[in-house]
C-alpha cells in the first residue's frame, strides 16, 4: 500500500463516518482498496498457522502419547521420564506467548536465519502450540476405556500396536477436537507474532489499524480472522461428528 | 487345563497393603465350566487376570494347557495369550470399529491376512447369531449383542480356554440367560474350557460344573458343584439356596444333592408317622440335576428314625436348631 492511498483511506474513514450506516457503506466501498493487502496478510497467516500446526502434530502427538504411556498404570510406566516431560510441557504452557516469542528469538535466528517474516514466526508458534496440543492429546487419550486397552493386552497385542490400533483410533474424535483448538489458538498467536514483525493479519491490524488509526483495516482483519476461525471450527466439528461412533 | 498353584498377590497402595490373593490353588478340568464366586474385593478379578498374566502374581505358578505361563515374558507371553480368550464385563469393544472390525482385531494383531480374516469373522458372527450385524458399530447394538461380539472376538484365535470377567453382570436377567446359554453351547460345540468369575449365584447355578467360593483372597470351598451341595455345612449350598431364619426345635435342613424319583416325603409320613411341614426352600436345575434345599419341621415320636431314613436315601439332613 502506498502512503498516498493510505492517506485517502484515513481521510475517508474520518470524514465519511457521519453515522453508523454511512460508516458501514464507507467501509464496504473501501474493501476493494484494502483487498490486496488483506489477501497477502491472510495468505501469510494461513501459511504460518498451517506449518505451525504440522509441527505441533509431529511433536505434540508423540509427546502427548508419551505423557500417557509413561504414567503409572500406563503401557510403559516410567515415572522419571514422565515427570521430566510434564515439567517441560508445563514450562512451555506457563509462558505467555508474547514473552515466549521474544525468549526464543535467538533459536529462531539460528533455525531460519532471520527473526522477521512469517517463516520466522513458525518457530515460536510451533514451540507455543506443541505443549498445548500435547496436553490436549494426553486428555483425550486418558478418556479411552481402560478395559479396551486391557482387552487388547489379553489378545496378545504389542504395546506399540495398542497405541496405534486402539488408543489413537479410539481417541480420534477428541484428538481432532484438540487439533481444532490448537489451530484456533495458533491463529490468535499468529496475530501476536505480527506484533514483532511476523507478518499476517495481526501485523496488518497493528500497523494499519492501530499505528495509523485506520479503522477500516482493523475491522477488515477482525472480520477475516473471525471467518478463518469459524471455518476451522466448523470443519473440525464436522469431522468430529463424522468420526464419533459412540 | 488350567492349573494355578500357590498364587499370592499383594497390592501396595500409598499407606496400606491389600492382599488380593493369599495362596490360591485352582484346578480346572478340560471342557469344564468353572465359576469363582465372591463379593467385590474378594480377589476373584485378580485371580482371573493372573491366569493370562494381565496381573503377574507375586508368587505361584500358572499353567494353561501344559504351558507354564508364569515363566514366559514378552513375545512368547503374547503368543500364549492368543490361546486364551477373554470376555469383559463392559464388553471392551472398540467404539471406532465395526462389529466385523472388532471380531477381526485379534486376527489382525496376529498377522492373519485380510481374506482369511473376513471368512473367519463371518463364521464367528454366525456362531454367536450376529451374522447380519457385521457392519454395525457397537453403539448401535444392545448390551446382549455387544457381549456376543465380545465372545466372538474372544474366540477368533481358536482358544482352548475362555476367561469370563463378570460377562453378564451388566446385562438384564433375560439377556443374562441367553448369554449363559451361548457359553454353554460353545463349551459343548467347541470343547472350550471356561473359567468365569461372577458375584451372581445364579450364574453358578445355571452353567457351572465346578465352583469356588472366594473370600479375602482365599478359596473357602472349591469343587464340583453337586459334590459341594452334598457336603455338610457347605457355604455354596447355603448361598445357592438361601433359607429364611427358621430354626425351631424340630427344624431340619434337607438337601437334595441330585434328582430323586421316589416320593421321599410322603413315604416319610406313612412309614414313621411323623408330621412334615415345609417352611421354605427351593428346588432348581443345577448341572442338569434337580437339586434343592428345604427347611422342614419334622415332628413325631419316631423323628430320629425318619431322619435316618432320609440320610440313608442320599439326602443330606442337618439340624437347623443347633
User: What is the band of B172 on the pLDDT scale with cuts at 50, 70, 90?
Assistant: very high
Q: Does B101 touch chain A (CB under 8 A)?
A: no
Q: Residue A12 falls within a domain, yes or no?
A: no
Q: Does residue A64 fall inside a structural domain?
A: yes
Model's pTM, two decimal places? Answer: 0.84
Confidence of residue B101 (pLDDT cuts 50, 70, 90): very high
Total domain count, chain B: 2
Tell me if B10 is assigned to some domain: yes
d(CA B192, CA B187): 5
Residue A36 lies in a domain: no
Asked whether the beta carbons of residue A156 and residue B106 sit closer than 8 angstroms, the reply is yes
Q: Is residue A29 part of a domain?
A: no
Domain containing residue B141: CATH number? 3.40.50.300
Using the predicted structure, report yes or no on whether residue B232 has a pLDDT greater than 90.
no
Q: What is the pLDDT at residue A6?
A: 54
Residues B130 and B252 in one domain: no
Residue A1 domain-assigned? no
Measured CA to CA, the distance from residue A175 to residue B181 in angstroms comes to 41
Q: What is the CATH number of the domain that holds A155?
A: 1.10.3720.10
- Return residues 172-211 of A near B (CB < 8 Å): 172
Q: Which domain holds residue B39?
A: 2-229
Residue numbers of chain A with a pLDDT score lower than 50: 16-17
* Statement to judge: residues B56 and B140 lie in one domain: yes
Residue B235 lies in a domain: no
Q: Is residue B234 part of a domain?
A: no
Domain identity same for B298 and B220: no
Nearest to A45 by CA among A178, A238, A183: A183
Could you tell me if B211 and B291 lie in one domain? no
ipTM of the shown complex: 0.86
Number of alpha carbons in the 13 Å side-chain half-sphere of residue A51: 14
Of the candidates B128, B119, B10, the residue with the CA atom closest to the CA atom of residue B58: B10
Between A241-245, B104-108, B154-158, the lowest mean confidence (pLDDT) is in: A241-245
**Which residues 6+ apart lie within 8 Å of B164 measured at CB?**
B86, B87, B183, B194, B195, B196, B197, B198
Q: Per the domain annotation, does A16 fall within a domain? A: no
Residues B221 and B267 in one domain: no
Chain-chain contact of A148 with B93 (C-beta, under 8 angstroms): yes
Residue B177 lies in a domain: yes
Q: Is residue B236 part of a domain?
A: no
Count of domains for chain A: 1
In a domain, A23, yes or no: no
Flag whether A34 is in a domain.
no
> From the CA of B310, how many Å to the nearest CA of chain A?
50
For residue B272, the domain's CATH number is: 3.30.70.260
Q: Is residue B186 part of a domain?
A: yes
User: Are B68 and B202 members of one domain?
Assistant: yes
Q: Are residues B145 and B270 in the same domain?
A: no
Q: Note the pLDDT of residue A3.
A: 54
Average pLDDT, chain B: 90
**In this predicted model, what pLDDT tens digit does every residue of B181-213 receive, in sequence order?**
999 999 999 999 999 999 998 899 889 999 999
Distance CA A174, CA B40 (A): 33
Query: Does A168 lie at the interface with B, CB-CB under 8 angstroms?
Result: no
Burial A112-131 (b: 16+ CB within 10 A, else e): eeebebbbbbbbbbbbbbbb
Name the burial class of residue B257, with classes exposed (0-12), middle (13-18) and buried (19+) by CB atoms within 10 angstroms of its CB. buried
Q: Is residue B70 domain-shared with residue B110, that is, in the same domain? A: yes
The fraction of chain B above a pLDDT of 90, given in percent, is 59
Mean pLDDT, range B253-278, rounded to an integer: 87
φ, ψ (nearest 5 deg) of residue B243: -115, 145
User: Which residue range forms the structural domain that includes residue A120?
Assistant: 41-243
Q: Which residues of B touch A170 (CB under 8 A)?
A: 94-96
Residue B110 with chain A: CB contacts under 8 Å: 156
Q: Are residues B222 and B172 in the same domain?
A: yes
Residues B191 and B268 in one domain: no
Same domain? B256 vs B313: yes
Amino acid at each position: 500500500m502506498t502512503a498516498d492511498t493510505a492517506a485517502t483511506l484515513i481521510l475517508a474513514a474520518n470524514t465519511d463516518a457521519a453515522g453508523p450506516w454511512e460508516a458501514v457503506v464507507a467501509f464496504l466501498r473501501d474493501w476493494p482498496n484494502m483487498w490486496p493487502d488483506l489477501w497477502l496478510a491472510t495468505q501469510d497467516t494461513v501459511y504460518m498457522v498451517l506449518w505451525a500446526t504440522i509441527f505441533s502434530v509431529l511433536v505434540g502427538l508423540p509427546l502427548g502419547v508419551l505423557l500417557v504411556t509413561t504414567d503409572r498404570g500406563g503401557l510403559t510406566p516410567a515415572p522419571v521420564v514422565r515427570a521430566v516431560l510434564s515439567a517441560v510441557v508445563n514450562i512451555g504452557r506457563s509462558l505467555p506467548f508474547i514473552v515466549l516469542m521474544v525468549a526464543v528469538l535467538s533459536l529462531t535466528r539460528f533455525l531460519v536465519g532471520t527473526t522477521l517474516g512469517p517463516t520466522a514466526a513458525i518457530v515460536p508458534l510451533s514451540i507455543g502450540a506443541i505443549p498445548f496440543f500435547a496436553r490436549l492429546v494426553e486428555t483425550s487419550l486418558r478418556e479411552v476405556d481402560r478395559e479396551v486397552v486391557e482387552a487388547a493386552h489379553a489378545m496378545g497385542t504389542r504395546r506399540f500396536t495398542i497405541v496405534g490400533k486402539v488408543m489413537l483410533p479410539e481417541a480420534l474424535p477428541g484428538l481432532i477436537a484438540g487439533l481444532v483448538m490448537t489451530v484456533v489458538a495458533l491463529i490468535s498467536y499468529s496475530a501476536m507474532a505480527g506484533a514483532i514483525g511476523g507478518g499476517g493479519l495481526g501485523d496488518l491490524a497493528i500497523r494499519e489499524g492501530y499505528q495509523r488509526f485506520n479503522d477500516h483495516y482493523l475491522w477488515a482483519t477482525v472480520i477475516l480472522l473471525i471467518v478463518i476461525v469459524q471455518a476451522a471450527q466448523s470443519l473440525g466439528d464436522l469431522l468430529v461428528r463424522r468420526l464419533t461412533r459412540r | 487345563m488350567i492349573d494355578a498353584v500357590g498364587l499370592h498377590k499383594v497390592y501396595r497402595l500409598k499407606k496400606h497393603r491389600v492382599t488380593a490373593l493369599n495362596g490360591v490353588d485352582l484346578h480346572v478340568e478340560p471342557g469344564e465350566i468353572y465359576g469363582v464366586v465372591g463379593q467385590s474385593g474378594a480377589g476373584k478379578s485378580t485371580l482371573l487376570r493372573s491366569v493370562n498374566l494381565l496381573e503377574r502374581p507375586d508368587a505361584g505358578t500358572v499353567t494353561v494347557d501344559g504351558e507354564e505361563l508364569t515363566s514366559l515374558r514378552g513375545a512368547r507371553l503374547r503368543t500364549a495369550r492368543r490361546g486364551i480368550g477373554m470376555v469383559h464385563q463392559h464388553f471392551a469393544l472398540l467404539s471406532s470399529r465395526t462389529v466385523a472390525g472388532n471380531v477381526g482385531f485379534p486376527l489382525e494383531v496376529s498377522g492373519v491376512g485380510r481374506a482369511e480374516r473376513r471368512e473367519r469373522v463371518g463364521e464367528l458372527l454366525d456362531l454367536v447369531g450376529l451374522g447380519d450385524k457385521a457392519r454395525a458399530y457397537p453403539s448401535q447394538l444392545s448390551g446382549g449383542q455387544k457381549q456376543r461380539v465380545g465372545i466372538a472376538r474372544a474366540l477368533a484365535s481358536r482358544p482352548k480356554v475362555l476367561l469370563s470377567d463378570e460377562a453378564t453382570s451388566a446385562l438384564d436377567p433375560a439377556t443374562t440367560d441367553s448369554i449363559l446359554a451361548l457359553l454353554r453351547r460353545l463349551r459343548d460345540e467347541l470343547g472350550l474350557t471356561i473359567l468365569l468369575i461372577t458375584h451372581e449365584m445364579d450364574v453358578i447355578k445355571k452353567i457351572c460344573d465346578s465352583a469356588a467360593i472366594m473370600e479375602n483372597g482365599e478359596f473357602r470351598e472349591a469343587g464340583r458343584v453337586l459334590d459341594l451341595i452334598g457336603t455338610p455345612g457347605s457355604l455354596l449350598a447355603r448361598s445357592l439356596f438361601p433359607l429364611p431364619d427358621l430354626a425351631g426345635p424340630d427344624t431340619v435342613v434337607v438337601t437334595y444333592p441330585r434328582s430323586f424319583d421316589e416320593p421321599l416325603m410322603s413315604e416319610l409320613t406313612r412309614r414313621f408317622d411323623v408330621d412334615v411341614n415345609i417352611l421354605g426352600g427351593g428346588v432348581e436345575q443345577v448341572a442338569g440335576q434337580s437339586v434343592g434345599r428345604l427347611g422342614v419341621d419334622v415332628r413325631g415320636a419316631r423323628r430320629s428314625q425318619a431322619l435316618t431314613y432320609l440320610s440313608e436315601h442320599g439326602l443330606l439332613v442337618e439340624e437347623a436348631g443347633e
